[in-house]
Amino acid sequence: MKILKAAVIGVGGISHEHITAYQKNPNVELYAFCDINEERLYQKAEKYGVAKERCFTDKDEMLAALPEIDIVSVTTWNSAHAECTIAALNAGKDVICEKPMAMNAEEARRMKEAADKNGRLLQIGFVRRYGNDCKVVKDFIDAGSFGDIYYAKATYLRRNGNPGGWFGDKSRSGGGPLIDLGVHVIDLVRYLLGKPQPVSVYGATFQKLYNRPTVKSQKGYTAADAKQNDICDVEDLASAMIRFNNGAVLSIEASFSLNIKKPEGDIQLFGTKAGCKLDPQVEIYTEMNDYMVNVAFDDDTALSFDGLFSNEINHFVDCVLNGTECIAPAQDGIDMMRILDAVYESARTGHEVIL
Ligand SMILES: NC(=O)c1ccc[n+]([C@@H]2O[C@H](COP(=O)([O-])OP(=O)(O)OC[C@H]3O[C@@H](n4cnc5c(N)ncnc54)[C@H](O)[C@@H]3O)[C@@H](O)[C@H]2O)c1
């Protein structure tokens, strides 16, 4: 079988997951790196054993110099996703681009157009679709155990968790916790619900606590380039109600900074036959013989990060090599960006946005 040559554009924090997943895949050769930060570029090249002559600070130079590259991971900050992805697609590569797909739906549409025009795959990094918890819940949904799922709640709340660096800089991130964290849980719910289309959105965002620069407690996650006086012009809390074309409604909350006791991440689905909660373990709530019963699993169903990104990258490689249907295609990224755009628009105007 052909061995795919993989390039990674943007070798910061999350690229580690793509890189090590490529290294573990027998059908892939980790081949080239690109990053505008030269120091980081060569440090990562040494760490992961990529030859110096296959390291570039400019994506276009890399794509021109190494036409043998087959696949590309785009793991830059959000504002560079569109330009890097489109350049790689136009150079004839298949691409996996990290979430969020882009800064907005308009950019996302242009990325898909480039994929279609060049007949290449564009997969979006909706990594939670590959989680063990997702699989368990999806098995029950597919078997009809939940009946009609008509309401869902998803939260991804940090107390002191603005990572700084580009995450707080709207010109590079496109927004705060909604586009960074909310995207994961909105996508997971939408995927579990069978990818219904959004029809209306009501959203609110708040910028009250900023990035808590004077708070002494450790942040959970700090950007590689974070500094004390980083710009912070993104929301610190977002909340939204999203209505889908199958009648289901999702309520979502995401924060970087919030006066909450401890960070919270949770997804709950409510159906006519049963409901469930995904965190910390999957539990199902239903009726049996006219009693309310709670179903727990014998197996550990907590989301495991062990192998999560490998599952995603292996799927990407399988799609490219074998033509397997992609479970996270570009259209899903566009649909997500339409939702996120609508939340920000609704928050700006104070009114519901009809999609
Ligand atoms: N799937 C997940 O769970 C997950 C987790 C973290 C981050 N992410 C996503 O991954 C992306 C990167 O996040 P990160 O935490 O690794 O950030 P990071 O700052 O650690 O890394 C980003 C890198 O991209 C480089 N870069 C920026 N513009 C570039 C360009 N035009 N060409 C080449 N390199 C460029 C930067 O120099 C930096 O090294 C973001 O889109 C983020 O939302 C996803």
Tens-digit pLDDT profile for residues 93-118 = 999 999 999 999 999 999 999 999 99
Please name the residue whose Cα sits nearest to atom 15 of ligand 1. Answer: 13
Cα–Cα dist 6/166, whole Å:
26
pLDDT score at 221: 79
Torsion of Cα atoms, 175 then 176 then 177 then 179, to 10°: 20
pLDDT of residue 200: 98
Best mutation site among 43, 63, 98 for ligand 1, i.e. most ligand atoms within 8 A of its Cβ? Answer: 98
d(CA 63, CA 44): 19
C-alpha 15 – ligand 1 centre gap (Å): 7
Beta carbon of 21 within 6 Å of any ligand 1 atom:
no
How far apart CA 58 and CA 209 sit, in angstroms, is: 37
* Model confidence band, residue 166 (pLDDT cutoffs 50, 70, 90): very high
Q: Atom 39 (ligand 1): residue with closest C-alpha?
A: 12
How far, in Å, CA of 256 to CA of 207, rounded? 10
- Domains recognised in the chain with CATH numbers: 4-125+309-326 (3.40.50.720), 129-303 (3.30.360.10)
| Ligand 1 neighbourhood includes 321 CB (under 6 angstroms) | no
**Residue nearest ligand 1's atom 8 by CA:** 14
223 or 121, higher pLDDT:
121
Nearest CA to 324 out of 336, 334, 313, 315 is that of 315
Judge contact between 337 and 355, C-beta under 8 A.
Answer: no
